[in-house]
Amino acid sequence: MAVRAVRGAVQLDRDEAGHMDEQVGALLAEILERNDLAADDLISIWFTATPDLHSDFPAAAARKLGIVDVPLICAQELDIEGAMPRVVRVLAHIESDRPRAEIAHVYLGAAAALRKDIAQ
């Protein structure tokens, strides 16, 4: 079993805790589904949020999905002029037999514009 990394992002419509839970939860669920993963396949997840998001920790959405024994961490993205606002990014380390080229990175909604080269 190899260690792989999965990327993803979602842009929120507004900075509200419930909305963040919903959108980040959808992102995580899609990452798991597209890569045929279970919570036991997760090693750790790193979340970043743009500086305009203050309502909650993105990791709280993972806990609400039942991802409770996986190390999670949240950090703030760099505040770059002209960057897409209200974005939560994910970097998940996983165990998978899939070759690196077959890992499905997930960019939902408008966040697909962040990585057109790998968004699926």
Q: Tell me the DSSP string of 4-54.
A: EEEEEEEE-SS--HHHHHHHHHHHHHHHHHHTT--GGGEEEEEEEE-TT--
The answer to whether the annotation marks 4 as part of a ligand binding site is: no
The answer to whether the annotation marks 14 as part of a ligand binding site is: no
Task: Of 12, 15, 42, 5, give the one whose Cα is nearest residue 27.
Answer: 12
Tokens of 119: 């968004």
The answer to whether the annotation marks 89 as part of a ligand binding site is: yes
List binding-site positions: 7, 89, 107
List binding-site positions for prephenate: 7, 89, 107
